[in-house]
């Protein structure tokens, strides 16, 4: 067997409590579509509820970090606002309540457990590809570390159409393996592990 490839962790992860954000670019749609579909199917099979998979699109891969950053931040603001509502009059600042410690408010359904950023960069004749690819990967890494929400790197960086198609499992010469499935698995695993 080949050395390369994702090893199964052996643990089964229950996706049922998770809320996942998918942000995908619209460049190279014929590759994007199977990648998104593959990640959604794997997450549904792990128990993630369809209504808890939020899908947003952006023009190209270069827009992925901004969209992921704003959508994650908005969900966290909404969640903390909800938490404040839950705290209500029992907040420590309110002198009229007893000094009993308030219950820790459970996060609202608004927060995302994980995010998958999906884009397909196919090397054209210009250097455009390199500049986008580098900026996007650094941007997405910063977002997940800053927000604490795992951002799965679903950006294909390919030299040819065929390479991209094969990594979406729809290659013309060889079908290949749909990497979207790996990203869906990673989103569930990280969503569960970072919630512990």
Ligand X SMILES: O=c1[nH]c(NC[C@H](O)[C@H](O)[C@H](O)CO)c([N+](=O)[O-])c(=O)[nH]1
Question: Token pair 């950023």 is at which residue?
Answer: 117
Assess whether 128 carries a catalytic annotation: yes
Record the tokens describing residue 20, joined without a space: 């996942």
Q: Which of 14, 30, 59, 106 binds ligand X (CB under 6 A)?
A: 59
- Residue 183 near ligand X by CB under 6 A: no
47 φ/ψ sector (left φ>0, alpha ψ -120 to 50, else beta) = left
Least Å from the CB of residue 25 to ligand X: 4
Rounded to a whole number of angstroms, the minimum distance from the CB of residue 139 to ligand X is: 12
Per CB under 6 A, the list member of 39, 43, 62, 186 interacting with ligand X is 62
Sign of CA dihedral 195, 115, 72, 111: negative
Are the C-beta atoms of residues 56 and 26 closer than 8 Å to each other? no
The two beta strands, 53-58 and 151-158, are unpaired
| Binding footprint of ligand X, residue count (CB under 6 A) | 16
Residue 41: CB atoms within 10 A of its CB come to 14
Which x/- pattern over 90-119 shows residues binding ligand X (rule: CB under 6 A)? -----------------------------x
Least gap, CB of 63 to ligand X (angstroms): 5
Query: Residue 59 or 88: which CB sits closer to ligand X?
Result: 59
Beta strands in the chain (DSSP E): 20-25, 53-58, 114-122, 151-158
Q: Which residue has the tokens 């308030």?
A: 102
Binding mask 119-138 for ligand X (x = CB under 6 A): xxxx-x---xx--x------
- Cα dihedral 190, 168, 37, 33 in deg (nearest 10): 130
Q: Tell me which of 24, 128, 177, 179 is the catalytic residue.
A: 128
Q: Which is nearer to ligand X, 109 or 159 (CB)?
A: 159
Residue 118, SS3? Answer: strand
Minimal distance, residue 115 CB to ligand X, in Å = 17
- Tell me the catalytic residues: 128
Binding stretches for ligand X (CB under 6 A): 25, 27-28, 59-63, 119-122, 124, 128-129, 132
């Amino acid at each position: 067997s080949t050395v390369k490839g994702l090893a199964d962790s052996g643990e089964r992860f229950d996706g049922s409590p998770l809320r996942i954000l998918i942000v995908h670019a619209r460049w190279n749609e014929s590759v994007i579509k199977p990648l998104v579909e593959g990640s959604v199917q794997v997450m549904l099979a792990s128990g993630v509820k369809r209504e808890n998979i939020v899908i947003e699109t952006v023009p190209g891969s270069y827009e992925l970090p901004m969209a992921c950053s704003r959508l994650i931040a908005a969900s966290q603001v909404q969640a903390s606002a909800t938490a404040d509502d839950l705290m209500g009059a029992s907040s420590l600042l309110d002198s009229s309540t007893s000094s009993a410690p308030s219950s820790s408010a459970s996060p609202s359904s608004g927060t995302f457990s994980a995010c998958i950023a999906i884009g397909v960069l196919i090397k054209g004749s210009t250097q455009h590809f390199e500049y986008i690819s580098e900026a996007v990967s650094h941007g997405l890494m910063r977002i997940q570390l800053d927000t604490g929400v795992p951002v799965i790197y679903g950006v294909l960086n390919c030299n040819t159409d065929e390479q991209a198609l094969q990594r979406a499992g729809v290659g013309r010469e060889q079908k290949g393996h749909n990497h979207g499935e790996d990203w869906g698995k990673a989103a569930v695993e990280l969503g569960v592990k970072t919630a512990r």
